[in-house]
Chains A and B, each alone.
Chain A
Amino acid sequence: MTENEARARVRQAIGEIAPPAGLEARAYRRLREIEPSRDRVPRAAVLVAVAITTLVLVTLVGIRSTSLNSRQPVPAATPMTTAAPTSTPLQPQFSAALLSSAGLAVAANLVTPLQLDATDQGVTIRLVGAYADHARTVVLFQSSGPGVPVRESLEDSKGPVNFSSGSRTAPAPYSSWSLDGPPTVDSDGLAHLRLTVAGYQERIGAAASSTPPSTLQGLWEFRFTLGVQPGQPLLPPDISKQVGTVPVMLELVEATPAVIHVQALIQSNGQAILTGAGAGRFLQLIDSSGHAVQPVAAGAGVTAPKQQLTQQTADVVRLNYQWERPATGGTYEVRLTYQDATASLMITVPSTPA
């Protein structure tokens, strides 16, 4: 194959995406709105503005914060090791900041403490804790250097645990990684897990620098067992709702110790809904004061297998949303919105057990 042929195949796979009209004008308008001063802002004021913007962005979307440490030189590689788990009782041993950043503040007592070290490329990563429930799996890391583990993958006894995943900001030297689903529980009532980390990356600041973050490639491996907390249904399964012309099935509405979890099936117009301007408002959790709670996970995927993928089947989309569970419980509205149509259900979330 020639390079031109490879180019054509890659472009075909991505598709031809045309920039929208008015992109430049909107970018300039936003620049003027957010940076109104014509004169160059003194550096100290820029740092304060960046810090405030960082705080807002962390609140809204959980972007990693900057590490101020300079890059460490890469020492010679050392063999990878995996220690056996220590048999420690289930007691809260983690800082409130770490648990909060990982979305585990209300489920602190259910986080399994671990002390598993793996070293490669001169960097030691410690798996300090893990948690799993019916909706998510979370692992907590501590690392010896200024960066964060990246390229994580998890396997259970059935193979790869294949859910959408992501990381959250955690105070250095900690970080967390989570999957939007549970591992398989074996006959002994535990999930038997192998966690692999394939990279170690410089922390990325919210005000992105003009140099790419460095990533150390390596292999850090951890094996451990983990209990999986059950979910508590808040509504009967498979409730049908009509949002204007769009039929939606609320397949699952539950509370786990850590999250409120909604799984919904959009039965038509899925593509238009998820790529349109109102995509972020299609499924919301509204609190008693009328505010939309920020989700901690929002995933979507087609349901049809590849061989059955057509224009029609591609419009059937399953949503998987999670919101942090409040400690005190309360009444919430699960609201579905598409164009001018709304459908909703009220749920009562119990307080978390003391």
Chain B
Amino acid sequence: MELTDGLIVGARGGDKVAFMRIVEPLLPQAYRLAAGMLRSEPYAEDAVQDAVLNAWRNVHKLRPDSDIRPWFLTIVANQCRTYRRSRWWRVTSGEALPDATVPNPLDPATIDLRRALYKLPEDQRLLLVLRYYLDLPLDEVAAVLGISSKAARSRVHRALRRLRLAPELEWHD
């Protein structure tokens, strides 16, 4: 914690090396978040790089006691929103391209779930990606979305119900 506080102080003072030492450990998760939201690995890297720039420009808002991961992942999520709402970003809804990394891309149930997942409203999809793809605890999921942990739990459950995955859930935190 003291090491991170020192890095934050350095980053706020304009030290890029200190700043990169703060965000570097978060880049793999940031990439997985962006890839999960954008469904494109090239765009995911672009989004992560833009998020790093935006984080650097907003590093003055970071306090020594700040929780860095939800702070940075919020910036990444916002960057993904910006990409998705730009005119350049177009993918026809409905039939998504099977991804080579999906273990069994031809499984109809998985295809159905994938399609349903990407038809969810953006905030619901973000909830599920943060909670189940990045394995963030609920309080960090809540922090990224700017809501309470209780609201995050309720919305995750609602998103899963929409995907018909969780009529009855046993919660593990």
The interface of chain A, by Cβ under 8 A from chain B, is 1-4, 6-7, 9-20, 23-24, 26-28, 30-32, 34-35, 37-41, 46, 50, 60-64, 151, 162-164, 166-168, 180, 199, 204, 206-215, 270-271, 274-275, 277, 279, 295-307, 309-311, 314, 317, 320
Chain A residues near B123 (CB-CB < 8 A) = 215
Closest 4 pairs between A and B when the two form their complex, measured CB to CB: A40-B14, A301-B92, A208-B78, A15-B102
B164 CB to nearest chain A CB (Å): 10
Tell me if B27 and A2 are in contact (CB < 8 A): no
Among A17, A207, A296, contact of B35 (Cβ-Cβ < 8 Å) = A17
Complex interface bits, B118-147 against A, C-beta within 8 A gives 1, otherwise 0: 000101000011011101000000001110
Tell me if B169 and A298 are in contact (CB < 8 A): no
Tell me if A10 and B16 are in contact (CB < 8 A): no
B21 CB to nearest chain A CB (Å): 10
Q: Complex formed: what's the CA distance from A4 to B74 in Å?
A: 25
Among A27, A151, A167, contact of B52 (Cβ-Cβ < 8 Å) = A27
Tell me if B121 and A151 are in contact (CB < 8 A): yes
Name the residue of chain A whose CB is nearest to the CB of B144: A212
Known interface pairs A14-B36, A63-B86; A210-B58 also in contact (CB < 8 Å): yes
Tell me if B102 and A277 are in contact (CB < 8 A): no
Known interface pairs A12-B103, A164-B92, A208-B51; A61-B144 also in contact (CB < 8 Å): no
Chain A residues near B165 (CB-CB < 8 A) = 1, 6, 9-10
Tell me if A301 and B132 are in contact (CB < 8 A): no
Chain B residues near A167 (CB-CB < 8 A) = 85, 87
Chain B residues near A35 (CB-CB < 8 A) = 16, 53, 56-57
Size category of the binding interface on chain B: 35 or more
Q: Complex formed: what's the CA distance from A304 to B13 in Å?
A: 55
Chain A residues near B106 (CB-CB < 8 A) = 309-311
Query: Could you list some 16 contacts between A and B, CB below 8 A?
Result: A4-B172, A10-B163, A16-B101, A17-B101, A18-B101, A19-B31, A20-B31, A20-B41, A39-B14, A61-B83, A62-B87, A164-B91, A208-B79, A300-B97, A311-B106, A314-B98
Tell me if B108 and A13 are in contact (CB < 8 A): no
Among A24, A39, A208, contact of B54 (Cβ-Cβ < 8 Å) = A208
Q: CB within 8 Å of A: which of B155-173?
A: 160, 163, 165-172
Name the residue of chain B whose CB is nearest to the CB of A274: B97
Among A64, A212, A320, contact of B74 (Cβ-Cβ < 8 Å) = A212
Tell me if A11 and B45 are in contact (CB < 8 A): no
Q: A10-B117, A15-B103, A299-B91 are in contact. List 15 more A-B contacts (CB 8 A).
A: A12-B104, A17-B31, A27-B24, A27-B49, A30-B52, A40-B13, A63-B85, A166-B85, A180-B90, A209-B78, A212-B145, A213-B81, A296-B87, A301-B94, A314-B97
Known interface pairs A24-B27, A163-B92, A306-B95; A32-B16 also in contact (CB < 8 Å): yes
Tell me if A299 and B132 are in contact (CB < 8 A): no
Q: Complex formed: what's the CA distance from A215 to B122 in Å?
A: 11
Known interface pairs A27-B48, A31-B20, A301-B94; A168-B27 also in contact (CB < 8 Å): no
Q: Complex formed: what's the CA distance from A41 to B16 in Å?
A: 12
Q: CB within 8 Å of A: which of B61-108?
A: 61, 71, 74-75, 77-79, 81-83, 85-106, 108
Tell me if A3 and B146 are in contact (CB < 8 A): no
A13 CB to nearest chain B CB (Å): 4
Name the residue of chain A whose CB is nearest to the CB of B171: A3
Q: Complex formed: what's the CA distance from A206 to B57 in Å?
A: 12
Known interface pairs A12-B103, A27-B27; A212-B146 also in contact (CB < 8 Å): yes
Among B20, B75, B94, B113, contact of A13 (Cβ-Cβ < 8 Å) = B113
